[in-house]
């Protein structure tokens, strides 16, 4: 692949880079991984949730790991943010794919991290769940948090982002501001960039 999930795993401190440098909040990885981890939230292909626990109990568990004050308030707020307050007492094993993804997002954001990492977060979501996630991403971005989203959905990525990086065959080929380019021009630029790299290799 292009290396998108590998990049996210490196930034999430789950994988050491084989070369180059990665910094999060001024801390170099992997040396400062322990300092970086409390400041990041990760939504990957694994929810990390426990099927036999309720939605609220899952968030309480992770909230305790984060050492959060006002835990019950944080749990309720996180559930409301993703539209799952009505299912707070239901076992996660009964959740649909969309509901599971929404609870995963609540788990990753409840400690209000400075950096949010999303690996294909819209995969398997229905229209309502996608709308909730889009609103959450916009809100998180407006608070000043850094959001790194890996996606194959080029138009959605263009619409939600401030900056776009084109990662092709393990290398970032280009980084640019998304508000300075139309959707059509972006798609043409993406095609030209990846095609040129393919010919060069």
Domains of the chain with CATH codes: 4-152 (3.40.50.300)
Q: Give pLDDT tens digits for 118-169.
A: 999 888 788 888 888 898 888 888 888 899 999 989 999 999 999 999 988 7
Average pLDDT over residues 78-106: 94
**Residue 64 reports pLDDT greater than 90:** yes
From the list 98, 97, 79, 81, the residue with the least C-alpha distance to 89 is 79
| 41's tokens | 């939230």
Label residue 171 exposed, middle or buried (CB < 10 Å: 0-12, 13-18, 19+).
Answer: exposed
Mean pLDDT, residues 83-91 taken together: 97
pLDDT for 104 equals: 94
Whole-model pTM? 0.85
């Amino acid at each position: 692949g292009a290396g998108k999930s590998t990049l996210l795993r490196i930034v999430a401190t789950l994988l050491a880079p084989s070369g180059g440098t990665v910094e999060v909040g001024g801390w170099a990885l992997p040396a400062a991984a322990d300092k970086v981890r409390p400041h990041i939230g990760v939504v990957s292909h694994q929810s990390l949730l426990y099927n036999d626990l309720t939605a609220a109990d899952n968030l309480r568990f992770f909230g305790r790991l984060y050492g959060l004050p006002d835990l019950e308030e944080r749990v309720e707020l996180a559930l409301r943010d993703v539209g799952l307050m009505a299912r707070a007492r239901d076992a996660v094993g009964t959740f649909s794919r969309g509901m599971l993804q929404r609870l995963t997002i609540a788990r990753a954001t409840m400690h209000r991290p400075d950096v949010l990492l999303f690996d294909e977060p819209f995969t398997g979501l229905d229209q309502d769940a996608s709308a909730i996630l889009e609103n959450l991403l916009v809100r998180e971005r407006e608070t000043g948090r850094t959001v790194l989203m890996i996606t194959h959905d080029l138009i959605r990525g263009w619409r939600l982002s401030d900056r776009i990086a084109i990662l092709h065959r393990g290398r970032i080929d280009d980084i640019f501001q998304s508000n300075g380019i139309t959707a059509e021009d972006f798609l043409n630029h993406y095609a030209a960039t990846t095609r040129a790299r393919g010919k060069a290799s």
